[in-house]
Amino acid sequence: MGNYKDIEVEFVERTLKLISQYESILNKFEFSEQYNYTLLLNCMLGLIVVPKETNLSHIPTDRLTTGLKKDMGLVYSTISEDIHTLRDLIIGLRHSISHFNIAVTSDLDDEKNIINHFDFFNDKDGKNYLICRFYASELLPILRYYGSWYISNKEKFSK
């Protein structure tokens, strides 16, 4: 793969492609050697932290309505009532990811210890508060949705 021509956009594009590449070979590994959620948490740096750091103005400010949440693939996941826009959510996630203030939970008490959801927290007035809880099955759809949206907004407003 060659050098970047536009690192802000291409880094997000390549991160999304990296997830797809891993998905295509995931079934080749035993369950105990599948690291899809580890990959997704790593990729959140490329999809959420890097774009926020380089260009906040391209993060959408659309209000988080039920329809938008559904479009993002969020059905069971919850977002704090203090978060009103997609930009608020991304900024909150950025802080949580950057400070690795994340809890990964398995609701089942079995030997597989399957991941059920990810809780993202931020410190506020010296206390941890929940930004959002993404169910495992909904983490990839929101990352793809947001990554695609970021790319289209960046390209649209960079002309």
Please classify residue 12 by burial: count the beta carbons closer than 10 Å to its beta carbon, then call 0-12 exposed, 13-18 middle and 19+ buried: buried
105-114 pLDDT, tens digit each: 887 766 667 8
Tell me what the mean pLDDT of segment 39-57 comes to. 76
- Give the pLDDT confidence score for residue 83 in this predicted structure: 93
- Give the pLDDT confidence score for residue 49 in this predicted structure: 81
Q: What is the pTM of this model?
A: 0.82
Q: Which of 7, 25, 43, 39 is nearest to 147 (CA)?
A: 43
Token digits of residue 113: 């210890």
Instruction: Locate the domains of the chain by residue range.
Output: 7-157
Residue 48 has pLDDT above 70, yes or no: yes
Residue 52 has pLDDT above 70, yes or no: no
